A and B are shown apart, each in its own frame.
Chain A
């Protein structure tokens, strides 16, 4: 039984670490803000969820498991809120997403896509 718990913890921690590093690589490699939000949400749901679930199984029935469940609940509740607020704030501030038709042209680096202050801020 202890071996089963150890294997489950190791598998969950490995999955969580993998998704966490993959999400962080996506955070660096993706071309604009909105696709980076997509990569960061992978980190916050699958990566953090698997890591915390693995630690909950390792902790057994104790107070630590309850605290980890509280952390998981807070992360799963507030992560989409922060992501949604970021996407909406970026859109109202005038950051334009890179669309599919932009990618047929030679791609510009994202250094040319600065925030236009007050450009579209009155448009919902």
Chain B
């Protein structure tokens, strides 16, 4: 019961973050919303595993947590330099 309430709250937060990802005026708003959606997906996996008595989903949650930050940094680097193989010096604009 408590896990169902938490799952509904996380789903509502995911809907609001999706709204920000669709509305966001700059690309950074969208990247921030994507990061929040990733965190919400991890929490939803954990809560859903506890709710149905199958906590095996936690392994997928660990994987998502590791991928989430790398995805955010990759998106930011792509939108700054234009490609992902850039060494990191100043952009030549």
Contacts and interface: CB of A to CB of B under 8 A. Distances in A.
Contacts of A90: 26, 28
Contact of B39 (A43, A114, A115): A43
Contacts of A55: 46-47, 50
A33 B80 contact: no
B83 interface: no
B17 to A, nearest CB: 6
B58 A64 contact: yes
B62 A71 contact: yes
Interface in B3-50: 3, 5-6, 9-10, 12-14, 16-17, 19-20, 23, 25-29, 31-33, 35-36, 39-40, 42-43, 46-47, 50
Interface of A is mostly: helix
A89 B28 contact: yes
Interface residues of B, number: 48
B47 A33 contact: no
Given A70-B62, A95-B28, A28 B20 contact: yes
Given A51-B43, A89-B28, A114-B25, A43 B13 contact: yes
Interface residues of A, number: 54
A89 B58 contact: no
Contact of B50 (A14, A58, A74, A122): A58
Contact of A40 (B35, B46, B66, B93): B35
Nearest to A64: B55
